[in-house]
Homo-oligomer: A and B are copies of this chain.
Amino acid sequence: VKVATLSIGDELTHGEIVDTNAVHIAGRLYRDGLKLQRHLTVGDNELDIVEALELLADKADAVIATGGLGPTVDDITARAAARLTGRRLMLNDEALAHLKRFMGVQDGPLLVLNEKQALLPTKCTVVPNPTGTACGFMVIHNGRFLFFLPGVPSEMKRMLDETVLPFLLERRRSHRFVGTRVLKTFGLAEAELDDLLKGMATPEISVGFCVSFPEIMVKLRAEGESGEHLDWLLANAAAAVQEKLKGHVYGEEDDTIDTVVAGLFRETGQTLSLAESCTGGMIAARITSQPGSSAWFREGMVTYSNEAKSRLLGVPPDLIASHGAVSSEVARAMAKGALQSSGGDIALAVTGIAGPDGGTPEKPVGTVYIALASRAGCHAKGYRFSGGRDEVRVLTAFTAMDWLRRHLQSRSSAPPAGGTAQVS
């Protein structure tokens, strides 16, 4: 089944919003082994839409169009579909009943403005919309299936998953199955991953990378005759990747480093306090982004100034004077101070030079020290990150989260083995 997609809306042709629907549908089709042949975007203009549908239906077996099903005068997709297929727009009973149910006016009349959303081409099939007013619809034109969905991403996604994709998959000519598995990694560069995973790809399994700074996803994709065979192939491949990449895989699929670390705190019952300098609260913000984090997060201190490091964390001023605020010694003292003051189980501290100013030949911008203190002791390590202020801050915060993951996973306080360059 060859599929084409169409996005409709002046907000797209004016460059006002990014077309996230197109990438979402493309990803879903690819995951399910359906080929996206091409994607087209046009503005809210009836003739442009008609012409676009003609073009796309000429080469594809199915077209999925999104946008232009709303109640306002701009929304003319249904009219364009009717014109293309030589049908009339009629009040569709099913869509009207849905609309009334949705707006809570089961028996009474609707505003004309809203009623418009139930005006669909004759002889169409309604695509139910469980979460919004505008039903979608499907018409068959010259043997091609044309689907029309609303542009609201949350509504579109559900309708795609619940109606459109199952319909297309049933009509797939070849009965081959496709499966994917995504492993999330941190701490290795793309070239390093490429090298470590050389030779992993087979005729049945493809291995791809997708960089999403500062992490890299390893995407495994398999095609085969049966779903069980695929699961087996993917499970084996995922285990092999895990083995090759050691601790650099932190999660799979929808995991984020924040959810993984939150899960580990929940499991282990450990408590955390933070002392941040260059990340200025970013680590605390990541930790507290997770529901229930008050159970394990004690407190965070953002100590930008030397004076605050001494007053709040008890870092001796002469330690700062002799080693500099950005040093392994001060990172350790910050972590130990935070541990002592909070009475928690773990304290993590970061101090670094995010730039653009403040770098020196010995400690250039990007120099960062991370320390982790627990009842078992205190470890520190230096990094030299590249990039501008934003990149250094994001890398530091992510690396700190990864330290917490590794610490909680090992339940020991051995320093994490990192793939990032060590300063000293």
Given known A-B contacts A18-B23, A280-B284, A304 and B294 have beta carbons under 8 A apart:
yes
Task: Assess whether A298 is interfacial by the CB under 8 Å rule.
Answer: yes
Task: Assess whether A236 is interfacial by the CB under 8 Å rule.
Answer: no
**Would you call A302 and B304 a contact (CB within 8 A)?**
no
Contact among B39, B55, B341 with A55 in the assembled complex (CB-CB below 8 Å): B55
Binds B, one of A27-35, A100-108, A130-138, A146-154: A27-35
Residues of chain A from 12 to 37 with CB closer than 8 A to chain B in the complex: 12-20, 22-31, 36-37
Q: How far is the CB of A239 from chain B (nearest CB, A)?
A: 24
Task: Assess whether A287 is interfacial by the CB under 8 Å rule.
Answer: yes
Kindly state the separation between the CA atoms of A341 and B305 in the bound complex, as whole angstroms.
Answer: 14
Task: Assess whether A242 is interfacial by the CB under 8 Å rule.
Answer: no
Which chain B residue has the least Cβ–Cβ distance from A26?
A: B15
Kindly state the separation between the CA atoms of A305 and B344 in the bound complex, as whole angstroms.
Answer: 12
Task: Assess whether A184 is interfacial by the CB under 8 Å rule.
Answer: no
Task: Assess whether A297 is interfacial by the CB under 8 Å rule.
Answer: yes
Task: Assess whether A300 is interfacial by the CB under 8 Å rule.
Answer: yes
Kindly state the separation between the CA atoms of A298 and B403 in the bound complex, as whole angstroms.
Answer: 27
Given known A-B contacts A13-B36, A210-B16, A300 and B288 have beta carbons under 8 A apart:
no
When distances are taken between beta carbons in the complex, the residues of chain B under 8 Å from A219 are 16
A269-300 CB mask vs B (1 if < 8 Å, else 0) is: 00000101011111111011101111001111
**Would you call A280 and B291 a contact (CB within 8 A)?**
no
**Would you call A299 and B285 a contact (CB within 8 A)?**
no
Q: How far is the CB of A412 from chain B (nearest CB, A)?
A: 27
Kindly state the separation between the CA atoms of A22 and B25 in the bound complex, as whole angstroms.
Answer: 17
Kindly state the separation between the CA atoms of A360 and B311 in the bound complex, as whole angstroms.
Answer: 37
Contact among B12, B41, B55, B280 with A289 in the assembled complex (CB-CB below 8 Å): B280
**Would you call A15 and B24 a contact (CB within 8 A)?**
yes
Contact among B16, B22, B36, B279 with A19 in the assembled complex (CB-CB below 8 Å): B22
Kindly state the separation between the CA atoms of A303 and B276 in the bound complex, as whole angstroms.
Answer: 14
Interface of A is mostly: mixed
When distances are taken between beta carbons in the complex, the residues of chain B under 8 Å from A266 are none
Kindly state the separation between the CA atoms of A283 and B43 in the bound complex, as whole angstroms.
Answer: 39
Given known A-B contacts A23-B12, A281-B300, A41 and B42 have beta carbons under 8 A apart:
no
Kindly state the separation between the CA atoms of A285 and B22 in the bound complex, as whole angstroms.
Answer: 32
Q: Give this chain's copy count.
A: 2
Q: Which of A40, A281, A304 has the most CB of B within 10 A?
A: A281
When distances are taken between beta carbons in the complex, the residues of chain B under 8 Å from A292 are 357
**Would you call A357 and B13 a contact (CB within 8 A)?**
no
Task: Assess whether A308 is interfacial by the CB under 8 Å rule.
Answer: yes
**Would you call B299 and A305 a contact (CB within 8 A)?**
yes
Q: How far is the CB of A87 from chain B (nearest CB, A)?
A: 24
**Would you call A299 and B281 a contact (CB within 8 A)?**
no
Kindly state the separation between the CA atoms of A63 and B67 in the bound complex, as whole angstroms.
Answer: 24
Contact among B15, B36, B297 with A30 in the assembled complex (CB-CB below 8 Å): B15
**Would you call A285 and B291 a contact (CB within 8 A)?**
no
When distances are taken between beta carbons in the complex, the residues of chain B under 8 Å from A276 are 281
Task: Assess whether A52 is interfacial by the CB under 8 Å rule.
Answer: yes
Kindly state the separation between the CA atoms of A43 and B2 in the bound complex, as whole angstroms.
Answer: 13
Task: Assess whether A416 is interfacial by the CB under 8 Å rule.
Answer: no
Task: Assess whether A356 is interfacial by the CB under 8 Å rule.
Answer: yes
Given known A-B contacts A16-B210, A342-B308, A302 and B284 have beta carbons under 8 A apart:
yes
Given known A-B contacts A282-B281, A283-B281, A26 and B12 have beta carbons under 8 A apart:
yes
Closest 7 CB pairs of A and B: A280-B288, A15-B27, A281-B284, A15-B26, A281-B281, A300-B302, A39-B41
16 additional contacts (CB under 8 A) given A12-B23, A14-B36, A39-B40: A12-B26, A13-B26, A13-B36, A14-B30, A15-B28, A15-B36, A16-B210, A18-B20, A36-B43, A38-B52, A281-B283, A291-B355, A291-B357, A294-B305, A299-B308, A301-B312
